[in-house]
Chains A and B, each alone.
Chain A
């Protein structure tokens, strides 16, 4: 989900996020709640649309996660 938001330059409509992540509305709400709780994303209402914004902490986490995955791949862990 975080990667999907990042590909959209850090801001995405909630409905678009749901389609891009292949999630049901229930799953999306539950995952988003956890991400908001951990301060990885923020929700913002703009008119009738809800936008999901990637925070600095979320961006930093994503970077570390990618580093870890690449490290694991390179060293065959």
Chain B
């Protein structure tokens, strides 16, 4: 048990760096998808656009989560009368504003990003349904502040369906990179399951973050292999 606490102590604050890796990977994929959209947009190909949008929204969500690690301090003057004496002193307060806003935006943007990704693979044609879904996501994200395990359960379900799509895609194409992507998303789904247990023991948060980092690193490897594929010359 002591070694567990030592591990947790060592990893304290490193979740910021893990999240930064996630942000960078998501941004890179989003930027590439956006560039593809700019090349192919004449053919009204919106797939690249929605993929870029989904990854960017997820990245901004992570940025808000990183923001929660910063604290705003403010000083207030307090006057107190002790007998004949009036004592005035300043004291430093810690503001929860950044934390609350950061967490709310993180929840909203993560759910929205995953929803965009989900609806790219399981399209909903009706605009009214999309609008209602977005509304429900925002409302749910707001009320999930006291039930973080439900938030991770929701993200797990999104990841699960997206992973299933990637699995079907891999079975269809038998592409090695498709397999890497599918495995990366399995790891990301798993990380959400572990993060769900955070309220049982804080160690699950550390473990979940590490698994999530592995998932995003897998996604990064897959993405850079896709980029490297273009440099290969087809042999005669």
Chain B residue with Cβ nearest A76? B169
Residue B40 CB within 8 A of the other chain:
yes
B-side interface size class: 20 to 34
Residue B93 CB within 8 A of the other chain:
no
Chain A residue with Cβ nearest B235? A7
A3 touches B234 (CB 8 A): yes
Residue B145 CB within 8 A of the other chain:
no
Question: Which interface residue of B47, B178, B230 has the most chain A CB atoms within 10 A?
Answer: B230
A64 touches B51 (CB 8 A): no
Min Cβ gap B91→A in Å is: 53
User: B156-195 interface mask toward A, CB cutoff 8 Å, 1 = contact, 0 = none?
Assistant: 0000000001101100010101100100000000000000
Known: A7-B235, A7-B236, A8-B236. A70 touches B169 (CB 8 A): no
Considering the chains assembled together, what is the distance between the CA atoms of A66 and B233 in angstroms? 10
The A contact surface, by secondary structure, is helix
The count of residues in chain A whose C-beta lies closer than 8 Å to any C-beta of chain B is 18
Chain A residue with Cβ nearest B36? A68
Name the B residues within 8 Å of A65 (CB-CB). Answer: 230
B226 touches A67 (CB 8 A): yes
Choice from A66, A67, A73 contacting B173 with Cβ under 8 Å: A73
Min Cβ gap A17→B in Å is: 13
Min Cβ gap B87→A in Å is: 65
Considering the chains assembled together, what is the distance between the CA atoms of A70 and B234 in angstroms? 14
Name the A residues within 8 Å of B229 (CB-CB). Answer: 66-67, 70
Considering the chains assembled together, what is the distance between the CA atoms of A74 and B33 in angstroms? 12
B39 touches A64 (CB 8 A): yes
A67 touches B230 (CB 8 A): yes
Min Cβ gap B81→A in Å is: 68
Considering the chains assembled together, what is the distance between the CA atoms of A75 and B40 in angstroms? 16
Considering the chains assembled together, what is the distance between the CA atoms of A51 and B51 in angstroms? 41
Known: A8-B236, A68-B39. A73 touches B230 (CB 8 A): no
Considering the chains assembled together, what is the distance between the CA atoms of A7 and B232 in angstroms? 11
Known: A63-B230, A67-B229, A68-B40. A74 touches B236 (CB 8 A): no
13 A-B pairs with C-beta separation under 8 A: A6-B234, A7-B234, A63-B231, A67-B229, A68-B39, A68-B40, A72-B36, A75-B51, A75-B181, A76-B121, A76-B165, A76-B173, A77-B51
Choice from A8, A66, A72 contacting B230 with Cβ under 8 Å: A66
